[in-house]
Structure 1
Amino acid sequence: MRILFITLLGLKLTANATDLEPRIVQGIPVKSMKKFGYTVHFVSNGEERVTCGGSIVNQRTILTAAHCICDAPDQEFFIRVGSYHKNRGTLYNVKNTVVHERYDPIKLLYDIGLAVVDRDIRLGSEVYRVALSNTPPRAGLVGTIAGWGVSKREVNGPIKGAHALLYTKQKILPLYKCKKIMKIEVRPKTFCAGAKNASSYPWRGDSGGALVVDGSLQVGVLSAHAAPGVTLYTDVSQFLQWIDLQARRLYCQ
């Protein structure tokens, strides 16, 4: 599997999240960002509620899900990087966003977007760029997904995000198995992955996060919790040209 780096230097932050916004339930706490330095989360002005995740593509650009940023709020919003605690780390102001022009929130097609920040992200051992895969992930490959979403699922209780970054492992499933489990058509340019531990899975608050393999090679953008223990991802390898073009355009604006 070859690796592509982008070397260039919407946000839907609503109080009532939908069930399409994943979170990691019963995840494993992260104690250091050295293995998760590509991970960021979005926060709105004056709030510390985590609504979505993302990954650092380059010093200015964040890769996330379109449904996270399709309705940019009037107030300022930010990304936070560099700490596993959701209220620590460095804040960067989001200057502009773009979602894929063919994004369909009903069919969950082309659920991918970019956000650009107002200054260069300072990179280091605990803040670094993700690598983007240029080939679709093969079935059976095990990836890691991390986020600050809700860590305990309470159907009728309040939605509260985890204070510390959590992660879990997921195995990429073959197409026929996705169709069988989800009982719906698997959308083009997507794939699904199942939790190795059935009680630990992404859910509300983790949308936009990166499914990575081999340390920091991103193969998917977390789109939706599709079925019990199964998560739908946007296939990054199908959007490399779009990411490159839009990252250049946003940086030059």
Structure 2
Amino acid sequence: MLQQFLKLSFLTTLLLGCISTSETSSIESRVIGGETSVITETPYLVSIRYKKNNSTPFEHRCSGTIYSSKVILTTATCLVGLDTSRIHVKAGSSYHTQNDGYLYLVEKYIIHPDYNIWFMDNDLALLILAFDLTLSLPKEIYPIDLISTMPEVNSSATIAGWGVTDSSANGQFSEILQIANVKIVDVLNCKRSYGENRISPAMLCAAGDDSDACLGDAGGALVYEDNAVGLISWGNGCANSDFPGVYTNLLYFKEWIENEVAKL
């Protein structure tokens, strides 16, 4: 489900946001090794859709995580360089293309000022909606709280998304929402895989038994005990046993998020 999630090959894809299948091969974000789910299991999850030009439809680009009725968390890599008027957010749907759920226009987005496009460091953005989300019960559209303390190594967590579900070069986005289990990885082990200087305090790592995020999953939450710990960001391949998935560390950015939201 999360193959090569946001991997972008560390260079090329980074420049273009590396989230759409046509733009990324090494930096990808999708859920691999997962199972079919429904949006009521992950009501905080939205599809961020982009229209490349006037002659093309809006298409799924990456995922987002509902922080409040007005604010969506996602990766900077997903949004950098995009025209706000060509972005829609689809909420409350388990499906990738069906005409259900709710569509929302975007007012603006805020890229973290320290975002590094080459190393995908500080990979965080706030997407500000033009109108408030319609929070619903039963929960199909609902925010998720951020974690207050980091879970221990080997703690179980979940990821979800509509990204590609296999590692083939021609993998397509999943029509139906997928969910998978992963475990928090010791940062020292993650650094051994990627290199001491490649994993910063703004990142955390997680991996599963044949499950991972991949192309199209970036921006979705890594969830531990109903709290968002991280956002799917990047990795070296999808479900690659030698390389854990890398996530934006939301605890590290909690104060920045709160301060930016308070300004709105």
1:243 aligns with 2:249: no
Tell me whether 1:27 sits opposite 2:34 in the alignment: yes
Q: 2:44 pairs with 38, 42, 49, which one? A: 38
C-alpha distance in structure 2 between counterparts of 1:37 and 1:66, whole Å: 22
Contact 1:109 1:188 in 2 (8 A): no
Residue of structure 1 in register with 2:23 after alignment: 17
C-alpha displacement of 1:205: 0.7
AA aligned opposite 2:247? Y
User: Which structure 2 segments of 5+ residues have no match?
Assistant: 1-15
Match of 1:4? Answer: none
C-alpha distance in 2 between matches for 1:22 and 1:122: 27
Partner of 1:213: 224
Q: Distance in 2 between matches of 1:63 and 1:165?
A: 18
Q: Following the alignment from structure 1 to structure 2, what is the Cα–Cα distance between the partners of residues 73 and 131?
A: 29
Shift of 1:51: 1.3
Instruction: Give the letter aligned to residue 67 of structure 1.
Output: T
Deviation at 1:181, TM superposition (A): 2.8
Question: Does the alignment pair 1:204 with 2:204?
Answer: no
Match of 1:57 in 2: 67
Q: Which residue of 2 aligns with 1:166?
A: 178
Paired residue secondary structure (1:50):
strand
| C-alpha contact (below 8 Å) 2:84/2:107 kept by paired residues | no
Consecutive unaligned residues of structure 1, counting only runs of 5 or more, are 1-10
CA distance in 2, matches of 1:74, 1:64: 14
Pick closer, same or farther for the CA change 1:37–1:74 going to 2, 3 Å. closer
CA pair 163-14 structure 1, distance change in 2 beyond 3 A: closer
Matched, 1:231 2:231: no
Counterparts of 1:113 and 1:137 in 2: how far apart (Å)?
Answer: 23
SS in 1 for 2:191: helix
Which aligned pairs between 1:54-93 and structure 2 lie closer than 5 A? Answer: 54-73=64-83, 75-87=85-97, 88-93=100-105
Aligned to 2:6: none
Q: So what's the TM-score if we normalise by structure 2?
A: 0.82
Deviation track 1:92-127 (CA, whole Å, cap 9, x = no partner) reads 011100111000011221111110111110112221
Which of 147, 151, 170 does residue 137 from structure 1 map onto?
151
Aligned equivalents of 1:187 and 1:193: distance in 2? 14
Change (3 A) 1:20 1:75: same
Q: What is the root-mean-square deviation in Å for CA atoms of aligned residues?
A: 1.9
For the residues of structure 2 that align with 1:64 and 1:74, how far apart are their CA atoms?
14
- The count of residues paired between Structure 1 and Structure 2 equals 234
Where does residue 206 of structure 2 map in the other structure?
193
TM-score normalised to structure 1 length: 0.86
CA distance in 2, matches of 1:117, 1:74: 10
> Match of 1:64, as an amino acid?
T
Query: What are the superposed Cα offsets for residues 177-205 of structure 1, whole Å, 9 maximum, x if unpaired?
Result: 1122334532122111111x22x211111
**1:82 deviation in Å?**
0.5
Structure 1, 174-183 or 103-112: larger mean CA deviation: 174-183
